[in-house]
């Protein structure tokens, strides 16, 4: 079996996920680009192939138990392992009208739908993939969080999104504690404010800057910190 590391990126048909696939493939990871929509996913794969980067593809909706289970069976059968899992898929469903995005007014279903992707999606993926990492005594898990979920700097508005990213950071801590001793590192990152469909055109960073810390964490040697929150390769609260 080759020494090439297998990396899975969720929500990778556009934005930060797609850029991360590009950079990891460039670093000779065997990357599985995943998308919940085959048309969008295959279009992204095509574009990478035209630029000389070979990546694999599989459908994956992190909000669906069935889809996660099909995807895991594919990974087991094709690679027998997953070395790097990037929980990048995310939604920002809050209204941009501060009144409606307030925790006093937000529709509870909007919080549920946000949690289903941003938090339960990462948990579903971890439950599916971490057993393979434990078997191989190797794993790097990177959760795309946000400073909007930082308890030390919490603010009003965007209630559903903020709650989901705070919870995702808790997932990082819990999972890091439970995988200690297996050479598995689980960390959260904040990519900064990045020009994507989610970040919008006024964001201050491009996607390349946004994924730099994730690329760095994907390549960490053994005995590096786990359960931390990083931005620009620096630990944050």
Ligand X SMILES: NC(=O)c1ccc[n+]([C@@H]2O[C@H](COP(=O)([O-])OP(=O)(O)OC[C@H]3O[C@@H](n4cnc5c(N)ncnc54)[C@H](OP(=O)(O)O)[C@@H]3O)[C@@H](O)[C@H]2O)c1
Which residues are at the interface with ligand X (CB under 6 A)? Answer: 10-11, 13-17, 36-37, 40, 60-63, 88-91, 117, 121, 144, 146, 190-191, 193-194, 196-199, 203
Q: Which is nearer to ligand X, 117 or 218 (CB)?
A: 117
Min separation Cβ 95 and ligand X, Å: 16
Q: Which is nearer to ligand X, 53 or 198 (CB)?
A: 198
- Of the CA atoms within 13 Å of residue 228, those in its CB half-sphere come to 16
Q: Which is nearer to ligand X, 83 or 147 (CB)?
A: 147
Min separation Cβ 221 and ligand X, Å: 25
Min separation Cβ 176 and ligand X, Å: 19
Min separation Cβ 85 and ligand X, Å: 13
φ and ψ at 12, to 5 degrees? -105, 15
Q: Which is nearer to ligand X, 136 or 173 (CB)?
A: 173
- Rounded to 10 degrees, the C-alpha dihedral 37/218/27/58 comes to -20
Cα–Cα distances in Å, from 111 out to 104, 118, 165, 235? 12, 10, 12, 28
**Spatial CA neighbour of 142 closest among 90, 92, 78:** 90
CA dist 182 and 186 (Å) reads 11
């Amino acid at each position: 079996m080759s020494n090439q590391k297998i990396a899975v990126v969720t929500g990778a048909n556009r934005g930060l996920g797609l850029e991360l696939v590009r950079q990891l493939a460039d670093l000779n990871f065997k990357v599985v680009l995943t998308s919940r929509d085959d048309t969008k996913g295959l279009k992204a794969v095509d574009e990478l192939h035209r630029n000389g980067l070979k990546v694999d593809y599989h459908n994956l909706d992190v909000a669906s138990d069935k889809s996660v289970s099909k995807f895991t069976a594919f990974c087991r059968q094709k690679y027998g392992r997953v070395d790097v899992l990037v929980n990048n898929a995310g939604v920002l469903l809050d209204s941009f009208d501060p009144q409606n995005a307030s925790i006093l007014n937000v529709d509870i279903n909007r919080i549920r739908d946000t949690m289903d992707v941003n938090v339960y999606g990462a948990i579903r993926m971890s439950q599916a993939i971490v057993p393979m990492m434990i078997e191989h005594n190797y794993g790097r898990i990177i959760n795309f969080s946000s400073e909007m979920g930082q308890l030390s700097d919490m603010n009003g508005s965007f209630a559903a999104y903020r709650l989901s990213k705070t919870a995702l950071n808790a997932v990082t801590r819990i999972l890091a504690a439970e995988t200690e001793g297996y050479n598995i590192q689980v960390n959260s990152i904040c990519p900064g404010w990045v020009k994507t469909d989610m970040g919008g055109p006024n964001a201050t960073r491009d996607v390349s800057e946004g994924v730099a810390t994730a690329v760095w964490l994907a390549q960490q040697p053994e005995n590096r910190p786990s359960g931390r929150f990083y931005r620009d390769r620096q630990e944050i609260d």
